[in-house]
Amino acid sequence: MSLTLPEGFLSYVKEWEEKIGAFIEFKGDVPDAPGTDVSASAAVSGVSGLPFAVKDNIAVKDFSLSCGSKLLEKLRAPYTATVVQKIEQAGAKVIGKTNLDEFGMGSSTDNSALKKTNNPWDTNRVPGGSSGGSAAAVAAGIVPFALGTDTGGSVRQPAAFCGVVGLKPTYGACSRFGLVAYASSLETPGILSDTVARCRSVFSVIRGLDPLDQTTREAPAGAPALNADTAGLHAAEGTGKIIGVLSPEAIAQAISLEIAAIASAANDSGDASLETAAQAAILEDEVRCGFELAKQRLAELGHTLVDVEVPSLKYGVPAYYTIATAEASANLARFDSIRYGARPAWAENPEDLIDKAREAGFGAEVKLRILLGTFVLRSGFQDRYYLRAQRIRSGITRNFEELLGSADYSETAKPNVDAILLPVFPTRAFDRSPNALSPFAQKAADLYTCCANLAGLPALSFPASVEGGLPVGVQLLGRAFAEAALFDIAEGYEKKYPFPHPAGFKAFWS
**Minimum gap (Å) between residue 231 Cβ and ligand GLN:** 27
**Dist. CA 444–CA 276, nearest whole Å:** 8
Nearer to ligand GLN, 106 or 471 (CB): 106
List residues bridging with 192 in a β-sheet.
Answer: 146, 166
131 catalytically annotated: no
Neighbours of 198 (CB within 10 A): 23
Binding of ligand GLN at residue 108 (CB under 6 A)? no
Report the residue from 21, 106, 169, 361 that binds ligand GLN according to the rule CB under 6 A.
Answer: 106
- What is the residue-wise DSSP string for 348-403? SSHHHHHHHHHHHHS-HHHHHHHHHHHHHHSTT-TTTTHHHHHHHHHHHHHHHHHH
What is the C-alpha separation between 214 and 398, in angstroms, rounded? 24
Which H or E element spans position 166?
strand 165-168
Q: Tell me, residue by residue from 310 to 349, as one string, x for binding to ligand GLN by CB under 6 A and - for no binding.
A: --------------x-------------------------
- Residue 130 binds ligand GLN (CB under 6 A): yes
By beta-carbon proximity to ligand GLN, the closer residue of 105 and 308 is 105
Region binding ligand GLN by CB under 6 A among candidate stretches 101-109, 232-240, 480-488, 502-510: 101-109
Residue 314 among the catalytic residues? no
Q: Hey, what's the torsion of the CAs at 484, 53, 327, 266, to 10 degrees?
A: -80
d(CA 82, CA 59): 9
**56 in contact with ligand GLN (CB under 6 A):** no
| Residue 323, helix vs strand vs coil | helix
Residue 361, interface with ligand GLN (CB under 6 A)? no
Enumerate residues 175-214 that contact ligand GLN by CB under 6 A.
182
State which amino acid sits at residue 359: E
Asked if 151 touches ligand GLN (CB under 6 A), the answer is yes
- Contact criterion met (CB below 8 Å) for 383 and 208: no
Q: Based on CB atoms, which residue is closest to ligand GLN, 16 or 362? A: 362
- In whole angstroms, how close is the CB of 318 to ligand GLN at the nearest point? 13
117 or 154: whose CB is closer to ligand GLN?
154
Nearer to ligand GLN, 50 or 445 (CB): 445
Active site residue 55: yes
Identity of residue 231: A
Q: If binding is defined by CB under 6 A, does position 88 make contact with ligand GLN?
A: no
The site that binds ligand GLN (CB under 6 A) totals a number of residues, namely: 14
One of 107, 112, 188, 322 touching ligand GLN (CB under 6 A)? 107
Stretch that binds ligand GLN, among 103-111, 113-121, 245-253, 485-493 (CB under 6 A): 103-111
Closest of 31, 25, 24 to residue 4, by C-alpha: 31
Kindly indicate which of the ranges 43-51, 150-158, 201-209, 409-417 contains the residues binding ligand GLN, using the contact rule CB under 6 A: 150-158
Of 55, 93, 241, 314, the catalytic one is 55
Give the binding range for ligand GLN (CB under 6 A) out of 84-92, 114-122, 145-153, 267-275: 145-153
Whole-angstrom distance, CA of residue 187 vs CA of residue 396: 17
CA 256 to chain centre: 26
DSSP H or E segment with residue 507: none
Distance CA 277, CA 445 (A): 8
Nearest Cα residue to 132 out of 58, 21, 51 = 21
Q: Does 152 sit near ligand GLN (CB under 6 A)?
A: yes
Q: Select which of 69, 131, 154, 204 is catalytic.
A: 154
Residue pair 60/107 in contact (Cβ under 8 Å)? The answer is no
Residues within window 418-477 making contact with ligand GLN, judged by CB under 6 A: 446
Binding ligand GLN by CB under 6 A: which of 88, 150, 194, 491?
150
Nearest approach, Cβ of residue 178 and ligand GLN (Å): 16
For 214: left if phi > 0, alpha if psi spans -120 to 50, otherwise beta; the answer is: alpha
**Strands, E, within 1-92: which ranges?**
23-26, 51-55
Choice among 130, 131, 175, 461 that is catalytic: 130
Which of 39, 162, 152, 43 has its CA nearest to residue 99? 162
* Contact positions vs ligand GLN (CB under 6 A): 104-107, 130, 149-154, 182, 324, 446
Catalytic residues: 55, 130, 154
